A = this chain, B = another copy of it.
Amino acid sequence: MRYELYYWPEIQGRGEFVRLALEDAHADYVDVARQPQGMTAMLRLMQSRAQRRPPFAPPFLRAGKTVIAQTANILQFLGPRLGLAPKGEADRLWVHQLQLTIADWLVEAHDTHHPIAGGLYYEDQKREAKRRAEDFRTNRMPKFLDYFGTALARNRGARVTYADLSLFQMICGLRYAFPRAMARLERPRPWVAAHHARIAARPGIRDYLASPRRIAFNEQGIFRHYPELDG
Contacts and interface: CB of A to CB of B under 8 A. Distances in A.
B97 A117 contact: no
B101 A53 contact: no
Interface stretch (A36-44, A64-72, A193-201, A209-217): A64-72
Contacts of A1: none
A227 interface: no
Interface in A75-108: 76-77, 89-90, 93-94, 96-97, 100-101, 103-104, 107
Given A116-B135, A117-B135, A128-B116, A93 B68 contact: yes
Interface residues of A, number: 43
A100 B71 CA distance: 9
A111 interface: yes
8 contacts: A56-B147, A69-B97, A76-B96, A77-B93, A107-B107, A117-B131, A117-B132, A125-B131
Instruction: Identify the 4 closest CB pairs spanning chains A and B, nearest first.
Output: A117-B135, A70-B100, A56-B101, A66-B90
Interface of A: 51-56, 66, 68-70, 72-73, 76-77, 89-90, 93-94, 96-97, 100-101, 103-104, 107, 111, 115-117, 119-120, 125, 128, 131-132, 135, 139, 144, 147, 150-151, 154-155
Contacts of A97: 53, 55, 68-70, 73
B90 A154 contact: no
A123 to B, nearest CB: 14
A120 B96 contact: no
Given A53-B97, A69-B97, 20 more contacts: A51-B154, A52-B154, A54-B147, A54-B150, A55-B97, A56-B101, A68-B93, A70-B96, A73-B97, A76-B96, A100-B100, A104-B107, A107-B107, A111-B111, A116-B128, A116-B131, A117-B131, A117-B135, A119-B135, A120-B135
